[in-house]
A and B are shown apart, each in its own frame.
Chain A
């Protein structure tokens, strides 16, 4: 199994490298083919690992969508499309969270991420929009080293996860949470009892970030030409 996993991931690395923006259109197409092959094999492998029948199809679907969306985020040449694919990724993750019986969290994720954060991103992208595709979007930076290091890390993580879970693999699945699976009450009670200090601190962090963002945005920076003229 490890060799197979390593092979799949290496394949994925090569595909991703070929598909990165900056190459010729046909090589990118080849890259997508390679990526699709690697993804299919990986999916088959994952499905074989998942016992039982019920959530298998749904998990496979969401996982596929998530990986595809993630790939598109990092390979697409236009920032706006990247942001939109990110929203797709959020929805896929939301689906997976529902499968994990975290309903409140999944809704929160959609509202906060897709509704708030991503919209901000899109605004900023629109703000910095240029008429033609910018050169820094068209050409990626050192894709060889990036892919190599990233997939080396992924292989090691996978190996780690596998080693970690070998004893746990055989244990039976814990039963689903019967009474209140993932409701506001189920999450909110520990949040406001056990983790009350942490939530205060998080609130403080948000406040600080807010103040900082306002402070930064209020500055009128001298442009580079001006600052050099002063010297």
Chain B
């Protein structure tokens, strides 16, 4: 039990109470599991998880208030002076060499609080660890933790409440597996909270894998359906590919920090604690940092479904809709962004890794946005939009503004959860139909859903003054500072985002009322589903204002709002530090607002009446078909990786069946053949045996004679 105090300590509640945060959902999940074992009534099985997740949400809110940044910590941050003197935006942006000098080696520190639960893994008797041989289960609290936990737990709570209504049929009876679903939800929130709170890389990896496991369990919730089972497997395996790199990155980090006669890690320090790593990382060779950063990035690519490894996320729609909302908004995919933001001291020291992240983010943003523009499955459109938005965040991370990336994660969580739950409400009303070609004009049938969905779509499209606008604009801004081409790509993608978002919205809610045959009497969802939608809608509108401040001045949007708020103060007090933000391009805000409006307007022009045939399909022709087929990524991967691997597996299997088993068969055949020869002697005749004994005795005597003489 050791508490390291950096600048401040908690005042409202003791730190050990905050450390219980992840365990309330776990407790709820265990209680539900016990109920399953005891075969209690299923219809009340949601209560333990709802209470557990709500408890953690309350703790997270209090923690957020408790960890509020003090003015002293903002002043003491080393990059603060440079923020006061913004540079004019240049074509090249900040040079790489300059960026490194912004984080001089050894200057970074871990400005958070560490709470050690217990000693976990013995590291043996290493000379560098004479005083402390343990890797601890320790939690790390700083501004980043507070921000992440805030939306993870609160959004999760709302989603869990929504699930109470969603996971029932039209008569209000729970679906099959209702208890199992809630147990997994609790486990999911526990995993994500552990991931966010982890104070060292091993615990981070544990949470990382737990999240992957929970996604597997929940995507495959309808496991009797083959497509669901396949999607669960796909999610798990694609994540494994990334996690392999992540694990290698942790190994490399440990090796670099502890190898040699004079290791970087001092006595008594645990080599994988954040505090130690971020203190020592500046002293590593550049190639070592780049290696570690690129390997860690692989993990983020898998978990956050970025460009080469993005294929699992659209298929994850096979799970129940609240699961999609949970994965896309609160948990799972945000983990990759969080990890890179948390490891800013590592990534910031490796320009190469940042450039790779930037390029991958740009590619992913464009690719997935175009894919989303040619889909008909509402949930798939939302899934591609998630990947696209995460790619925006990657661009932000690559442009050295992790605080903006985390800000976008924060706002994105609200409106993406809202959109998914709204889509779930549509599904609920239409009996599971989600194909946009089969229905339209639902605005009068589902009034609440329509209104909340409109808010969510506006936020996603970057409509001015809604939450998505503020955070997306920061990212676009940073990209422009980094390189104008990157900025233009992001801006175009933002417009495309607005376009496909409202394409979906208009196709669903506008035009004349059309219903699928198997859902003749659609109805609005019950209160337990509508209330979460409105809560999230409030979040989608106002969450952005945590990242802006009201201040009159020349460099502010609409004359009174400055894009730098309390959230940034939180993040600057964390391991992210305070990156530089250019403030010269205020015109960009107006431009991006115009782009968003233009996208919405274009969508209205083409889809405002919800035409039954898609005008884009005719207008774009082959390009549209390419988008619709998702650039044939699945097929390419199938040919390039899956089939060769499967053939390799068949080859190994055949080697086992015929090669190894053949050898074993041969080994077994030798004694069998010998015994076949001998079995002629076993004739069952008593006198034959006696004769054999006589001959044997004679031979023995003969031998004795021969040797004796």
Contacts and interface: CB of A to CB of B under 8 A. Distances in A.
A binds B: yes
Interface of A: 141-142, 145-146, 149-150, 152-153, 156-157, 159-160, 163
A141 B701 contact: no
The 6 closest A-B pairs by CB, nearest first: A156-B701, A149-B694, A153-B698, A152-B698, A149-B695, A153-B694
Nearest to A155: B698
A145 B698 CA distance: 13
Contacts, number: 25
Interface residues of chain B: helix, strand, loop or mixed (majority): helix
Contacts of B701: 153, 156-157, 160
A60 to B, nearest CB: 28
B691 A145 contact: yes
A141 B705 contact: no
A150 B687 CA distance: 13
Interface in B688-705: 691, 694-695, 697-698, 701-702, 705
A156 B698 contact: yes
Nearest to A154: B698
Chain B interface size band reads 10 to 19
Contacts of A157: 701
A150 B695 CA distance: 8
B481 to A, nearest CB: 95
A160 B698 contact: no
Given A149-B698, A150-B694, A153-B694, A159 B705 contact: yes
Contact of A156 (B687, B691, B705): B705
Contact of A149 (B691, B705, B708): B691
A153 B690 CA distance: 13
A160 B701 CA distance: 8
A157 B701 CA distance: 8
Nearest to B702: A156
A160 B694 CA distance: 16
A5 to B, nearest CB: 14
Contacts of A141: 687
A153 B697 contact: yes
B685 to A, nearest CB: 8
B705 A146 contact: no
25 contacts: A141-B687, A142-B687, A142-B691, A145-B691, A146-B691, A149-B691, A149-B694, A149-B695, A149-B698, A150-B694, A152-B698, A153-B694, A153-B697, A153-B698, A153-B701, A156-B698, A156-B701, A156-B702, A156-B705, A157-B701, A159-B705, A160-B701, A160-B705, A163-B705, A163-B708
Interface in B489-535: none
A48 B687 CA distance: 37
A158 to B, nearest CB: 11
Nearest to B709: A163
A86 B313 CA distance: 100
Contacts of B708: 163
A100 B5 CA distance: 112
Contacts of B694: 149-150, 153
Contacts of B687: 141-142
Contacts of A145: 691
Contacts of A142: 687, 691
Which one of A149, A150, A159, A163 has the greatest number of beta carbons of chain B within 10 Å?
A149
A159 B702 CA distance: 10
A160 B698 CA distance: 11
A163 B704 CA distance: 12
Interface in B660-709: 687, 691, 694-695, 697-698, 701-702, 705, 708
B697 to A, nearest CB: 6
Nearest to A160: B701
Which one of A146, A153, A160 has the greatest number of beta carbons of chain B within 10 Å?
A153
A153 B695 CA distance: 8
A106 B698 CA distance: 31
Nearest to A141: B687
Contacts of A152: 698
Nearest to B700: A156
A159 B705 CA distance: 9
A149 B694 CA distance: 7
Given A153-B694, A153-B701, 15 more contacts: A142-B691, A146-B691, A149-B694, A149-B695, A149-B698, A152-B698, A153-B697, A153-B698, A156-B698, A156-B701, A156-B702, A157-B701, A159-B705, A160-B701, A163-B708
A137 to B, nearest CB: 15
Interface string B182-202: 000000000000000000000
A157 B698 CA distance: 9
A214 B357 CA distance: 96
A152 B705 CA distance: 13
A160 B700 CA distance: 12
Contacts of A153: 694, 697-698, 701
A215 B708 CA distance: 48
Nearest to A157: B701
B186 to A, nearest CB: 64
A140 to B, nearest CB: 10
Interface in B409-438: none
A145 B705 CA distance: 22
Contacts of B691: 142, 145-146, 149
A204 B127 CA distance: 76
A156 B695 CA distance: 12
Which one of B697, B698, B705 has the greatest number of beta carbons of chain A within 10 Å?
B698
A167 to B, nearest CB: 14
A186 to B, nearest CB: 34
B51 to A, nearest CB: 70
Nearest to B701: A156
A28 to B, nearest CB: 21
Contacts of A156: 698, 701-702, 705
A141 B694 CA distance: 15
A149 B702 CA distance: 12
A145 B694 CA distance: 11
Nearest to B693: A149
A26 to B, nearest CB: 27
Contacts of B698: 149, 152-153, 156
Contacts of B705: 156, 159-160, 163
A156 B708 CA distance: 13
Contacts of B702: 156
Contacts of A149: 691, 694-695, 698
A88 B708 CA distance: 39
A200 to B, nearest CB: 31
A74 to B, nearest CB: 13
A152 to B, nearest CB: 5
Which one of A152, A157, A159, A160 has the greatest number of beta carbons of chain B within 10 Å?
A152
Contacts of A159: 705
A146 B691 CA distance: 7
A21 to B, nearest CB: 15
A171 B331 CA distance: 109
B330 to A, nearest CB: 72
B696 to A, nearest CB: 10
